Amino acid sequence: MHRSPRNTAQPARLAALALSACLAGCSVTVDTLGTVGDDPTLYRGTSTGYADMTGTIEMATTDGGNRCTGNFEYETMQYGYGSLTCSDGKSARIRFTALGMTAGYGTGVTSEGEVVRFVYGMKDAEAAYYLRDMRADARSGTAGAGFFISTQGDLLTAAHVVLGCKSAITLQTASGAGATANITAIDMDLDLAILQAPSGPAAVPHWAASPSQVGDRVAAYRFPTAGQSSGAGDVATGQLTALSGVGGNAHYLQMNAPVRDADGGGPLVDASGQVIGVIAGWLSDKQGGTAKGSDAQAINFAIKGDIAKTFLNKHGIDVAAPAAGKANPVTADILRDSVVQLSCQTVS
């Protein structure tokens, strides 16, 4: 995703620091602009963020014919989610990405399957660029990762990876094998989704039994970025740095394994290759001094494995039990057969 106009945005970490330093009751209100579906009608309004990492949003069409209001919440220092309810009877689940202290962009899907796009904290010219850019990105497809959780073809990913997909999701393994999958369950609040492919691998990753601890070694399989040879995936390693996310959010683990946008939805594993979480996001200044795809990211987040297992159990899926005895040290080979790249069209 290329967004060249905003090259001086403050890093997302400054947003979190500013909020945490703010006194109780402090709030920041910024202009918000959005569209729904292929209708060019603009929605204008405001978004207000509070010190507890929550906020409200309200927008209306420029002719006043439809009005939408809702709430949002940060789940990491850079990403968040929310909901909207409109006077025309439609509702929407939304997710957003912070570009700085008071600006960002987001997408969502209405109750009728229309794609919502919005930006906040930008002047009209810049907002129009972002809205056009998001539409172009949607036509070219979204991308992320997922991983098989059963030999019958069930996959787990982050909900934001498949948000708004209007076509079957294409998956590709590191070996180049391809297939399609469909969404069978999604939970925007948990940021988790289950997909179903025609078949699965002969074996899937085991899930760890013991709770993770700060300092534990972790790893993630990464697919090649543009310019790398096909199939040249590797394993990024690091350590768990916290057992909660922003503001003590118990939904997340925090780690310093260098993951990228395209790794979102893939598994986070322990030193023996057993799943302990689902990669959710990373803290970065995408428009500032950090190049997209860089390995320099040091603050990254994963949805806890126990939360993912509860979500899967709710939908009738039991994960692979912990491996008996001492598992082998994690290598690319262990993860290569089960982790896949995902892409789909979000505009028909």
Last residue of a domain, one of 140, 172, 195: 140
CA distance 311 to 315: 7
Last residue of a domain, one of 106, 123, 140: 140
137 versus 187: the higher-pLDDT residue is 187
Number of other CB atoms surrounding residue 124 within 10 Å? 12
85 and 134 belong to one structural domain: yes
CA distance 273 to 330: 5
Question: Mean of the pLDDT values across residues 287-314?
Answer: 70
Residue 329 lies in a domain: yes
Q: In sequence order, what DSSP letters do the residues of 157-216 get, joined into one string?
A: E-HHHHTT--SPEEEEETTS-EEEEEEEEEETTTTEEEEE-S---S----B--SPP-TT-
For residue 1, pLDDT beyond 60: no
181 and 302 belong to one structural domain: yes
- Contacting residues for 192 by C-beta, under 8 A, at least 6 apart: 156, 157, 158, 159, 186, 278, 303, 307, 308, 311
Number of other CB atoms surrounding residue 240 within 10 Å? 22
CA distance 283 to 11: 8
119 and 231 belong to one structural domain: no
Q: Is 172 exposed, middle or buried (0-12, 13-18, 19+ CB in 10 A)?
A: middle
Q: With the C-alpha atoms ordered 122, 128, 132, 135, is the resulting torsion angle positive or negative?
A: positive
106 and 186 belong to one structural domain: no
Domain around 64 = 12-140
Residue 4 lies in a domain: no
Residue 6 lies in a domain: no
- Of 182, 115, 186, 176, give the one whose Cα is nearest residue 153: 182
- The CATH number linked to 259 is 2.40.10.120
Residue 3 lies in a domain: no
Residue 332 lies in a domain: yes
Residue 7 lies in a domain: no
Last residue of a domain, one of 140, 173, 196: 140
Write down the pLDDT at residue 296. 38
Share of the chain above pLDDT 90, in %: 28
**pLDDT tens readout for residues 221-239:** 887 664 444 455 778 899 9
CA distance 26 to 21: 10
Going by pLDDT thresholds of 50, 70 and 90, the confidence category of residue 157 is very high
CA angle 131, 133, 139 (to 5 degrees): 105
pTM (predicted TM-score): 0.67
157 and 168 belong to one structural domain: yes
167 and 198 belong to one structural domain: yes
94 and 156 belong to one structural domain: no
Residue 126 lies in a domain: yes
What radius of gyration do the chain's Cα atoms show?
Answer: 20
Q: Are strands 217-222 and 27-36 parallel, antiparallel or unpaired?
A: unpaired
164 and 313 belong to one structural domain: yes
**pLDDT tens readout for residues 28-68:** 999 999 988 778 888 999 999 988 889 999 999 988 889 99
- Of 192, 102, 104, give the one whose Cα is nearest residue 144: 192
CA distance 45 to 69: 9
**pLDDT tens readout for residues 263-283:** 889 999 998 889 999 998 765
**pLDDT tens readout for residues 95-135:** 888 877 788 888 887 877 778 889 999 887 778 767 766 65
89 and 74 belong to one structural domain: yes
- Of 232, 210, 347, 238, give the one whose Cα is nearest residue 302: 238
Residue 280 lies in a domain: yes
157 and 97 belong to one structural domain: no
116 and 231 belong to one structural domain: no
- The CATH number linked to 111 is 2.40.128.120
Query: How many domains does the chain contain in total?
Result: 2
CA distance 100 to 214: 28
Measured in degrees and rounded to the nearest 5, phi and psi for residue 223 equal -80, 160
**How far is C-alpha 180 from the chain's CA centre?**
20
71 and 205 belong to one structural domain: no
**pLDDT tens readout for residues 171-209:** 887 777 788 899 999 887 788 999 999 988 888 888 998
- Of 339, 317, 325, 342, give the one whose Cα is nearest residue 219: 339
